[in-house]
Amino acid sequence: VTKVATALAVWVATEEEAVGLDEPAGPEGSTVRHLLAHASGLPFEGRDAIAAPGTRRIYSNTGFEVAAEHLAAASGLSMATYLHEGVCAPLDMASTHLDASPAWGATSTVADLIRFGQELLAPTVFDPTTIDRVTSVAFAGLDGVLPGYGRQTPNAWGLGVEVRGNKSPHWTGDRNSAATFGHFGGAGTLLWVDPGESFDRATACIALTDRPFDEWAAEALQLWPALSDAVLAEAG
pLDDT in tens, 9-67: 999 999 999 999 999 999 999 999 999 999 999 999 999 999 999 999 999 999 999 99
CB 119 within 8 A of CB 19: no
Which residues, 6 or more positions from 125, have their beta carbon under 8 angstroms from its beta carbon? 12, 86, 87, 90, 91, 119
pLDDT score of 147: 87
Looking at residue 137, the DSSP 8-state letter turns out to be P
* Spatial contact of 34 and 26, defined as CB atoms under 8 Å apart: yes
CB atoms within 10 A of CB 233: 10
Q: How far apart are CA 224 and CA 165, in angstroms?
A: 17
Closest to 183 (Cα-Cα) out of 224, 226, 153: 224
Pairing of strands 97-98, 162-163: unpaired
227, 175 contact by CB (below 8 A): no
Q: Which amino acid is at 116?
A: F
Question: Long-range contacts of range 49-53, CB-CB < 8 Å, 24 or more positions apart?
Answer: 53/26, 53/27, 53/28, 53/29
Predicted pLDDT of residue 194: 94
**31-53: b or e for each residue (b if 16 or more CB lie within 10 Å)?**
bbbbbbbbbbbbbeeeeebebeb
Residues of the chain with confidence (pLDDT) below 50: 199
φ, ψ of residue 21 in degrees (nearest 5): -65, -25
pTM to 2 decimal places: 0.94
